């Protein structure tokens, strides 16, 4: 079944799989290194003294883009105006109220105590 695949192609697939796994796990690995560095510098462990944290639902954009596409209208004129591409439906994030971020709870608590 796989007689036509060379060893170079198999190595390419393996490298691609490793890169995909590294891309997916990069934020988790970064957080492992960032927290101790921030604490050694006297910064907030959670936000890094930015005073805001990105919303997890919209990933800091304030807009939620679903994975489903809306097909273009049947009218040819509207289809050309859309650049002959399907339009993506989006809505504002209700969790962060379309701001894309929240105030850092640790920094806010420290400000109230001061």
pLDDT band at 81 (very low <50, low <70, confident <90, very high): very low
| Residue 73: per-residue pLDDT | 56
pLDDT band at 48 (very low <50, low <70, confident <90, very high): confident
Range in 15-24, 38-47, 48-57, 104-113 with the lowest mean pLDDT:
104-113
Euclidean distance between the first and final Cα of the chain, in Å? 70
Domain ranges of the chain: 1-42, 46-114
What is the 3-state secondary structure of the chain? CCCCCCHHHHHHHHHHHHHHHHHHHHHHHHHHHHHHHHHHCCCCCCCCCCCEEECCCCCCCCEECCCCEECCCCCHHHHHHCCCCCEECCEECCCCCCCCEEECHHHHHHHHHC
pTM, entire model:
0.50
Range in 6-10, 16-20, 61-65, 101-105 with the lowest mean pLDDT:
61-65
């Amino acid at each position: 079944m796989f007689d036509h695949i060379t060893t170079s192609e198999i190595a390419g697939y393996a490298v691609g799989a490793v890169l995909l796994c590294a891309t997916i796990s990069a934020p988790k690995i970064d957080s492992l290194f960032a927290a101790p560095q921030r604490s050694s510098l006297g910064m907030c462990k959670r936000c890094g003294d930015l005073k805001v944290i990105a919303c997890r639902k919209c990933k800091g954009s304030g807009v939620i883009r679903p994975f489903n596409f809306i097909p273009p209208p049947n009218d040819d004129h509207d289809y050309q105006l859309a650049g002959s591409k399907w339009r993506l439906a989006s809505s504002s994030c209700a969790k962060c109220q379309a701001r894309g971020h929240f105030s850092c709870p640790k920094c806010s608590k420290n400000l109230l105590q001061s």
